[in-house]
Amino acid sequence: MALPVIHSMHFQHLYKQIYSNQSIFYGWFQAMHTRIDIALCRLDEQHALELTEKIYAEIKRVELMADRFNPQSEISTINRLAAVEPLPVSDEWFAMIEKCINYNRISAGLFDVTVNSLNNHKDGVKDIQLDPELKTVYFKHPDVQIDLNGYIKGYALDKVKDILQENQCNDALVNMGNSSILALGNHPNGEGWKVNVPGKDNEYVILANECLTSSGNKSDYRHIINPLTGIAIENLNVCSVITANATDGEVLATTSCIGAPELQNALCEHFNGIKL
């Protein structure tokens, strides 16, 4: 006997059985200050619901990790105490900071998780000291603050990809608030997934086991800051990139909005990405 279908309190969903071997599940919810939309193909409804519940739990976990406005989150603890003395952090946090420092280096400083430090403190990444033995993080300057806003959605999307692949869900489309889109496998009626390029009329790309990441200022709110000058960039164009994983996409899209063309090309090459 089939298990009863649960109706989750965490997300809403639609389910359509098209043929005996084809179905589409669509689930959506709000998290990380945006919306998350998930389409899963060829799963029975029960399986899709359970998988989406797992994804929801993981995204909420990552959201809390990086929530600067929640005093109990790990990022708040780090920002509060890492300048006092070397602070032991979780393996996951240690790896994440290590990765962000590396992204800063290869982007010649354009990707900078310390861009929102106190008192306009610049180049805060150089003030972050990691101890791989003790797994501690230390800020050498009291103004240094970490802000993962330009990174964490990509990070969460890569976690979603892991969950889907671990559960043999091979044909799926996941959209994190339109700025990061993960396409796995195929649309039921074609190869890959056809997605319009944001900000470009009548242009689409076909994504196959790839991520499309877009970055750009909104006309009423210029939120992308050039870390080298500390000034918000004026450019209103949307920069979109295709990469194998979403975290690389976040870095590449953000730096594409700021950096010189030569650097962009070098970064594309480094990440094996495509700039649209």
Chain residues in the site for other proteins (CB under 8 A): 7, 12, 14, 16, 18, 22, 24, 26, 28-30, 33-35, 37, 39, 173, 175, 177-179, 181, 187-190, 193-196, 198-199, 204, 214-216, 218, 238
Cβ-proximal residues to 85 (8 Å cutoff; 6+ apart), any chain: 138
CB-neighbour burial class of residue 143 (10 A; exposed 0-12, middle 13-18, buried 19+): middle
Q: Encoding tokens for residue 13? A: 């969903």
Rounded (to 5) percent helix, strand, coil in the chain = 35, 25, 40
Query: Using an 8 Å Cβ cutoff, are 73 and 102 in contact?
Result: no
**How near is the Cβ of 271 to other proteins at its closest, in Å?**
20
Minimum CB–partner distance for residue 180 and other proteins (Å) = 9
Which one, 162 or 191, has the nearer CB to other proteins? Answer: 191
105 or 200: CB nearest other proteins:
200
Measure the CA–CA gap between 21 and 95, rounded to whole angstroms: 41
**Residue number, 90 or 237, with CB nearest to other proteins:** 237
Q: Kindly tell me which of 51 and 83 has the beta carbon lying closer to other proteins.
A: 51
Smaller CB distance to other proteins: residue 38 or 137? 38
Output the smallest distance, CB 171 to other proteins, in A: 11
Give the number of other CB atoms < 10 A from CB of residue 156.
27
Q: How far is CA 24 from CA 17, 53, 207, 223, in A?
A: 6, 16, 18, 36
CB of 276 to other proteins, least distance (A): 13
What is the closest distance, in whole angstroms, from the C-beta atom of residue 89 to other proteins in the complex? 27
